[in-house]
Amino acid sequence: MGRDSVQAKRDVHITNIHLPSSEAVADLRDMFGASTNRESFEVEVEDLVAPPGTEEHFEALDEEFVLVLASTGQTGLSTAVKQRCKAFGARLGLPARMLQSTSVDELKQELEGFEAPTVLVLDTSQNPGLEEQLPTAADYLRTILKKLDCRLVIAVELEFRIEFQRHFPKSVFDLARADPDRVFTHHFDRADAEFAEILESEYFSDTLSTAWPPLVRLMASILSHAPADLTLQEFQEQLKRRVEDASASIRDLLENKLDAQGKAVLISASALERMSTRSIALAAEDFLRYSKDEGTPVEVLGEYGILQKLELIRQEFYIEGSNFKHPDLGDEVLLHVWEQYPAWHMPLRNWLVRLLLEPDYLEWTNLTRLPRRLVKLASVAEDGSMLTGQVEVMTVSRSPVIRSLASAVLLGGALDDTIGPSVRGRIYDWSRGSSFERQVAALEACADEDYLVRFPRNALFRLRQLARSEHDGVAEAAFEAIIASSARIHLGDLLVHFRHWLFGADQNEISMIPRLLDRICVREDVIESLRQDPWPVIGDPAGLTASFWRLVLTIADPASVRLAVRAWLSAAAELSPADGERMVALVVKAAADDYGSIGQIAQASKSLTLDGAGLSERTRELSRQMLSHMFEIEVPLP
């Protein structure tokens, strides 16, 4: 499908505003944490062998509300606490969630956002500052966890164990090592006979006997993906390289072992890992051309064949599986090249753009790593414009696979700590621009759960801009995305955003707010959220809900006010009698000081009372209450 068919999409509805479900998108989410997706760590730990101590850990968590596991690096501590969180959540029939706080203050804010009993996990093992602070918040943690009926599993480095033990005396345990034989058997999926020489060797048994789960899984992974003729010496070398820092291997390859063709192949394999060897080899040929001075002749007859080129990096690359032997090597190659070889920057940029436009020779059958590599490269270059420029190219690529991933790459950049502010600023520009393709990319990124929950104001404001798009399909999809956001953002918080939008809004925008409320207030997830936690709305601690209604009543036309009141009363009717009546009282109070607002409410509630087609009896009852209250208001004469 070429550019013409992409342009034809302007005239159709956008029925899917979600990022594609693919390995490439999952790889990107894994890179930036997918913190808002509860499945992100559950999937990670579902195939792990549980560490010992399940029952005593569960007892501590159940009775003390806190479980602290302590260990050193390379023992699998981070995955162990996630496994405990998931397992105990399943046992208690509660959801499991990953906390992302990096300080005690952030943790307090995050905990106070929970509305229902949940099993939580917090990994502090890479944050010494938080590990030092957290024990001092022990009393607060116990109080808030008991109040919420939540449980918290914490990972800490062994050096902080004593301080945690002092403040959580019945909750702290050293992480015990899972049986390495069980772990290996669980993760090894080839026949033992294929690697008898290795499995029966003294080296293997000695290494396995003292190994913690991460190393055991690595041993199993090497053998599970290795050719059947792998020798013991090759296994030892691979294991050593995989345990060592990947950057040392890259430096050795680029500085000592590879000629120009070999370097081009290494860079190509990094960008296109898991694609066909033919694609990697031909892309390397392209990069070699880009790296030559203009006018330098290409010695065609001196070039290697496709397999011959891949042989240049066989030491670090499985040609058969088209993947690096060291799991971090693919990520590190492009980053190392960018940092250490400034003269290669422009050839690398130009070559990547050509890849994204899709040369005819590329076979886009297994595009997994390229999106991740683009985000990482732009981040290390501290250049958000590099990434957004690449996304622009992706939106008009001849490859439908590349086009479908443009939004995911944009999202990855928006969530990156380094280039995120720049990319989010560019998304703002695109949301106000005229390009259909860029607006679709911005829409899909902003509508994503990870963007919405991390940057709600930012995401919703851009969706608001997109809801005014000249492209009907984009405008309709953005409107639907705002409605869908109510599954993640409490109605009380949404009203704060809607209130902000009303300042200086034209009549089209003003009328959009009641239409949004009309759809949001009948959603079952919104009603359930209100039932569990009505206070942000009916308590109105900052007076912002009342302020929202005062604005609606003073600037919206009667039809829009009627729609907003109808939606509000429909939601109120689903709550307890007391909470429903508080919602009515809040609107009445907002109108109390203004004759025009009183008239708007009286007219709307009277209309709903007389013509309540499609409304429940409880909704009509609340409408009558609202009308009755209007007649009781006394407004002092000016």
Q: Confirm whether 146 is domain-assigned.
A: yes
Same domain, 608 and 506: yes
| pLDDT score at 144 | 94
Q: What is the DSSP letter of 153?
A: E
Domain extent, residue 226, equals 180-243
Cα 559–Cα 566–Cα 556 angle in degrees, nearest 5: 35
Q: Which amino acid is at 11?
A: D
| pLDDT score at 357 | 84
Same domain, 70 and 197: no
Q: Cα dihedral angle (486, 492, 494, 495), rounded to 10 degrees?
A: 140
Same domain, 533 and 608: yes
| pLDDT score at 33 | 58
Distance CA 619, CA 556 (A): 22
- Please tell me the pTM assigned to this model: 0.70
| pLDDT score at 401 | 83
Helices (H), 324-419: 329-340, 345-357, 370-380, 384-395, 400-415
Q: If DSSP codes are grouped into helix, strand and coil, which group holds residue 68?
A: strand
Same domain, 230 and 257: no
**CA 492 to chain centroid:** 23
Distance CA 423, CA 437 (A): 16
Tokens for 114, please give them.
């929970």
| pLDDT score at 21 | 64
Q: Confirm whether 399 is domain-assigned.
A: no
Count helices and strands in the chain by DSSP H and E runs = 37, 7
Strand-strand pairing, 323-324 and 317-318? antiparallel
Same domain, 572 and 608: yes
Same domain, 231 and 113: no
| pLDDT score at 14 | 59
Distance CA 292, CA 289 (A): 5
The pairs formed by 7-12 with CB atoms below 8 angstroms and a separation of 24 or more are 7/436, 9/436, 9/440, 9/473, 10/436, 10/471, 10/473, 11/473, 12/473
**CA 541 to chain centroid:** 30
Distance CA 449, CA 49 (A): 30
Residues of the chain with confidence (pLDDT) below 50: 1-13, 34-40, 294-298, 300-301
- Exposure pattern of 234-273 as b/e (b: 16+ CB <10 Å)? ebeebbebbeeebbebbeebbeeebeebbbbbbbbbbbbb
| pLDDT score at 299 | 52
User: What are the angstrom distances between the C-alpha of 520 and each of 63, 457, 569?
Assistant: 39, 18, 12
Same domain, 598 and 636: yes
DSSP string, 485-546: GGGTS-HHHHHHHHHHHHTT--HHHHHHHHHHHHHHTT-HHHHHHHHH--HHHHT-TTSHHH
Residue 518: phi, psi to the nearest 5? -60, -35
Same domain, 219 and 293: no
| pLDDT score at 141 | 95
490 neighbors 465 (Cβ within 8 angstroms): no
Least Cα distance to 414 among 434, 444, 370 occurs for 444
Same domain, 591 and 502: yes
Same domain, 496 and 610: yes
| pLDDT score at 303 | 58
User: What are the angstrom distances between the C-alpha of 6 and each of 138, 396, 404, 437?
Assistant: 56, 8, 11, 8
Distance CA 160, CA 143 (A): 22
Handedness of CA 456, 462, 463, 465 (dihedral sign): positive
Same domain, 155 and 271: no
| pLDDT score at 42 | 58
Q: Confirm whether 377 is domain-assigned.
A: no
243, 262, 295 — which closes off a domain?
A: 243
Same domain, 286 and 164: no
Q: Confirm whether 473 is domain-assigned.
A: no
Q: Confirm whether 571 is domain-assigned.
A: yes
Q: Confirm whether 372 is domain-assigned.
A: no
Q: Confirm whether 66 is domain-assigned.
A: yes
| pLDDT score at 297 | 47
Least Cα distance to 224 among 307, 99, 108, 318 occurs for 318
601 neighbors 546 (Cβ within 8 angstroms): no
The CATH code of the domain that includes 58 is 3.40.50.300
Average pLDDT over the chain, rounded to an integer? 86
